Structure 1
Amino acid sequence: MWHDNETTVDYLNFGVVADACASLLKRTNGEPISIGVSGGWGAGKSSLVKMIAARLNDAAEPGKNTYVVVTFNPWLYQDFEGARSALLQLVGDEVLLRAAKDEKLLAKAKRLMQRINLLRLAQMGGEAAATIITGVPVGVVGRAISKVGGLFSSADAEEFEGDTGKEGIESDKVSTLLRPAEPVSLPSEIQAFRDALEELLEELKITLVVFVDDLDRCLPKTAISTLESIRLLLFLKRSAFVIAADNEFIRGAVRVHFEGTGITSDIATNYFDKLIQVPLHVPRLGVNEAKAYLALLLLERANADGDFDDDKFEQAMKAVPERLQRSWRGDAVTTDFLQSLVGVDDAKLVALMDLAEGLAPLLTQSSAVNANPRLMKRFLNTVFLRSALAEPQGIALDIPALAKWHLIERCDETLANALAAMVTSASDGRVDPLREAEEAARTAGNLPEPFKEDSFTREWLQLQPSLGEVDLRPLLHLSRDTATRDFGADNMTTEGRALRDALMVATNANGPLTQAIQAAGPTQAEMAMTRAWQLKAPRRTWRQGEDVIPLVEPCKVFPELGAKAGSLLYQAPLNKVGPGIIPSLFAQAWARPIIIQWIESPKLDRRAKNAIQQAEKRGR
């Protein structure tokens, strides 16, 4: 299974963007900067941010500048602590840690922490804020925090300690407890905090880089609170902010925050833009990138399973990004390129590369996935989970078949439900309309109901393997709820099914096939003959003798099946019939009248007509 965590392993060619962003941060030379990394949920923002951080960690210049990377995730603090307080505390703790080795700087860092505590208390509102702003301890909370916050002298604090449990204190005692510099000016405190932090960063020779991640997972209130707290730290020298968030989400959060004020979309956009100097969009994946991403995920799995050795996997991880970097000049991720990663002789891995190539365009154009890396990863997780569930239940299904079925479930639920309903009513789990649709998609014919005429459906139908000839009940058993597992009755016996499968692969008459027909008996043989004839339709060329084996051989053993075989043969597309099938058919009494009628049809190829005439002459 693939974990849904951010990573510095680059499967998406994000390294180029991470290099550019890290270079931009380095070139600021201590000047403040804010960068917004925008992209939808699951687009790879967190991974891109982590790659940028890794590059900064390697860029330290001892004695001149060290990048101190602090990652803040407001989603973790939601409902537990105000995001603003948490961010200030995180920054203060990091500076305190960096100053620990220098006594003078440590003292400054502790004073900075006092200012942070003061601002955090002011944010609490109510009695705490009133006490801090006025200098008068208001209520029990106000009296308790006043001593802790340092608003009083140590001597007065001791006297005050005995009163903390009272409901109030006398006004004359208040006047003796307050410091001379009584009320606190919050604007002054905020500026003093900024000045102190800026001074400490310069003396410590560090550039503080704060990565704000998962902002678009937060409730609007938390998101706005985080953005407001960022304003306290923005545009200080030796500071940088990289904020990862979906722009659409931020605009929505701003509208919720200012609901009722008539805020316009332009104002909501400007709110975020004022915080961001450099907007950076996570590159959207195209077919090329999606193909490369799926291929590397599948190779990673093969490597973990021991099917793809470490050296080849390392080579693939290097070759794929290099290929993507050159895609602008036409070096696409082609079939040949993917197969070169694994070697054309490894059928199992070649099949996985073919799967990546087939899935990529469909997962890119589907609005349900839209080439989203997280959704593609989840897609493969589901497919491999079902594969793991199949084996203990005695179900033999390969990964491409599971992937094709899950693709239609994920991207066109209406069609998936329609096909599932057909499976439940089919006697053997095979769906004739699906078989016909796959054939029509290959030959550019019209698609039958319930298939829609669109590019996605046609490409899905052409994706290998074909499912029209497959018993789909195992796929539904693994993927659908119990309601869709109420499959229709299958009137075929074990011998009948065995004969059906034998007729589908037979290329000539042989002893084992004759024995299978005899073992099935006439009733089951008729069912097997009919079903095998239907299932082989997509592969039937109408030009070789083996094409009519499913009709000819059962009728040799049980002549009474000739009427049914004749009705099936009567539907032959005469414009496709070649001379190769004529001799074996003309030898069958049940087929001869039908073939003689064919000769009158203008659709029949002249060579086929000649073959019929020659067969008639030999039969006289």
Structure 2
Amino acid sequence: MWSDNETDLDLLGFDFLVDEMVVALTQPRLLPLTMGVTGGWGSGKSSLLKIVSAELADIPDDETGHFVVVSFSPWQYEGYEDIKAALTEAVLARLQQEVEADGPQAEQVGRLRRMATSLRRPVRRLVGTALPAGAAIAAGAVDPALADAASMIAQGMVGSSESSQDSAGYSSEEEPEPVAAGAFRQQFGELMESLHKVRAVIVMIDDLDRCLPHTVVDTFEAIRLFLNVDKSAFVIAAHAEVVQAAIDQRYPGLRRSGASGLGAEYLEKMLQVEINIPALSAPEAETYMHLLLSELHLPPQPAVRRRRWP
């Protein structure tokens, strides 16, 4: 038996896909960019993301700076956090490491993180409210994004609002007012422009095809509304048909008679570049199995990455 975890050891001949992705992600004129990595379950999407992340990390700094890679799995936050807030917080937390602790950019990042907490307000308004079990169903009918939170509250899994406090240190009474998406994006764009040592922020989003429909849509909305600015790129690895079905289920009223649904068109609009992982042929699958068996009889070797960048 072998582990089903992703790896940065390329035994599938992903070189041509890695090259295509790295070239697109490192071209300033193509940014901002949303790229899709599509393929069936088990096709190697997560491993491809890991290999590309390592390649980007190996590119040396130049006069334009270096690449910042952020890994994010919306599936890990589902049911516990608003995905828009979680994704935004993940990006800002990583950028916090790129600024001086006492500099003006640190203040910008802190302000943006405080603004991002307002994205969770619709969910957190329910905290501390005495809800009967049936209210969870009603909340889900109004907005599926509230169903998980309402269920948790109904079961007594969420503490009272008097003691609740978010990760940025704000109690419910101290939360900032909700901000407009345009205002947040403008300030985020100004921050990115001021980071002269950062060539681009590249966010690797994995496991989207494991998420519920509202999480899939919220992830795309977070990219479009809040984070799609210059010097940014998003790579989304997912089973395309699963994501399309999730979008169709999220917006059943938009299904047109005689058409397959909105999902395919939505995904086509969101993804500017699509990298499809082809299915292995029988000889390729046999070669891959032989490589895995050979690896079992080899002593542990340090990871060797391709050094193609001067």
Q: TM-score, normalised by structure 2?
A: 0.76
State whether structure 2 residue 175 is matched by structure 1 residue 149.
Answer: yes
1:398-428 per-residue CA deviation (whole Å, 9 max, x = no partner) reads xxxxxxxxxxxxxxxxxxxxxxxxxxxxxxx
SS of 1:227 mapped into structure 2: helix
State whether structure 2 residue 215 is matched by structure 1 residue 222.
Answer: yes
Contact 2:202-2:233 at 8 Å conserved across structures: yes
Per the alignment, residue 51 of structure 1 pairs with 51
State whether structure 2 residue 73 is matched by structure 1 residue 73.
Answer: yes
Q: Which amino acid aligns with 2:181?
A: I
Per the alignment, residue 247 of structure 1 pairs with 240
1:45-80 per-residue CA deviation (whole Å, 9 max, x = no partner) reads 001111111111112425522211111101111222
1:285 is aligned, of 267, 280, 287, to: 280
State whether structure 2 residue 87 is matched by structure 1 residue 87.
Answer: yes
Q: CA deviation at 1:104?
A: 1.2
Q: Which amino acid aligns with 1:249?
A: V
Moved over 6 A (4+): none
Q: CA deviation at 1:236?
A: 0.7
1:137-177 per-residue CA deviation (whole Å, 9 max, x = no partner) reads xxx78xx95741246xxxxxxxxxxxxxxxxxxxxxxxxxx
1:220-369 → structure 2 map (5 Å cutoff): 220-263=213-256, 264-303=259-298
User: d(CA) in 1 for partners of 2:230 and 2:125?
Assistant: 30
Per the alignment, residue 197 of structure 1 pairs with 188
User: d(CA) in 2 for partners of 1:272 and 1:288?
Assistant: 32
Q: CA deviation at 1:120?
A: 2.7
User: d(CA) in 2 for partners of 1:42 and 1:265?
Assistant: 26
Q: Which has the higher helix share?
A: 1
Q: CA deviation at 1:10?
A: 0.6
Contact 2:182-2:226 at 8 Å conserved across structures: no
State whether structure 2 residue 205 is matched by structure 1 residue 212.
Answer: yes
Higher relative contact order (CA 8 A, sep 6+): 2
Per the alignment, residue 97 of structure 1 pairs with 97
Q: CA deviation at 1:113?
A: 1.2
Q: CA deviation at 1:123?
A: 5.7
SS of 1:34 mapped into structure 2: strand
Contact 2:112-2:187 at 8 Å conserved across structures: yes
Q: Which has the higher strand share?
A: 2
User: d(CA) in 2 for partners of 1:213 and 1:62?
Assistant: 29
RMSD: 2.7
SS of 2:262 mapped into structure 1: helix
1:4-15 → structure 2 map (5 Å cutoff): 4-15=4-15
Contact 2:72-2:203 at 8 Å conserved across structures: yes
Q: CA deviation at 1:195?
A: 1.3
Gaps of 5+ in 1: 128-139, 152-183, 319-620
Contact 1:33-1:241 at 8 Å conserved across structures: yes
Q: CA deviation at 1:28?
A: 2.8
Contact 2:185-2:228 at 8 Å conserved across structures: no
Contact 1:36-1:279 at 8 Å conserved across structures: yes
Q: CA deviation at 1:276?
A: 0.6
Per the alignment, residue 147 of structure 2 pairs with none
SS of 2:2 mapped into structure 1: coil
Contact 1:30-1:237 at 8 Å conserved across structures: no
User: d(CA) in 1 for partners of 2:235 and 2:216?
Assistant: 15
Gaps of 5+ in 2: 128-160, 163-169
Contact 1:19-1:55 at 8 Å conserved across structures: no
User: d(CA) in 1 for partners of 2:249 and 2:43?
Assistant: 24
Q: Which amino acid aligns with 2:212?
A: L
Contact 1:92-1:116 at 8 Å conserved across structures: no
Per the alignment, residue 326 of structure 1 pairs with none
Q: Which amino acid aligns with 1:291?
A: E
With over 3 angstroms needed to count, the CA separation of the structure-2 counterparts of 1:25 and 1:93, relative to structure 1, is: same
With over 3 angstroms needed to count, the CA separation of the structure-2 counterparts of 1:59 and 1:233, relative to structure 1, is: farther
SS of 1:274 mapped into structure 2: helix
Contact 2:95-2:109 at 8 Å conserved across structures: yes
User: d(CA) in 1 for partners of 2:122 and 2:171?
Assistant: 11
Contact 2:185-2:226 at 8 Å conserved across structures: yes
User: d(CA) in 2 for partners of 1:285 and 1:78?
Assistant: 32
Q: CA deviation at 1:266?
A: 4.9
Q: CA deviation at 1:218?
A: 1.5
Q: Which amino acid aligns with 2:106?
A: L
Contact 2:181-2:226 at 8 Å conserved across structures: no
Per the alignment, residue 543 of structure 1 pairs with none
Per the alignment, residue 21 of structure 2 pairs with 21
With over 3 angstroms needed to count, the CA separation of the structure-2 counterparts of 1:287 and 1:146, relative to structure 1, is: closer
Contact 1:234-1:241 at 8 Å conserved across structures: no
User: d(CA) in 2 for partners of 1:251 and 1:57?
Assistant: 32
Q: CA deviation at 1:291?
A: 2.1
Q: Which amino acid aligns with 2:210?
A: R
Q: TM-score, normalised by structure 1?
A: 0.39
Contact 1:30-1:239 at 8 Å conserved across structures: no
Q: CA deviation at 1:81?
A: 1.6
1:165-214 per-residue CA deviation (whole Å, 9 max, x = no partner) reads xxxxxxxxxxxxxxxxxxx6x4xx21121111111112113211111101
SS of 2:71 mapped into structure 1: strand
Q: Which amino acid aligns with 2:71?
A: T
With over 3 angstroms needed to count, the CA separation of the structure-2 counterparts of 1:62 and 1:104, relative to structure 1, is: farther
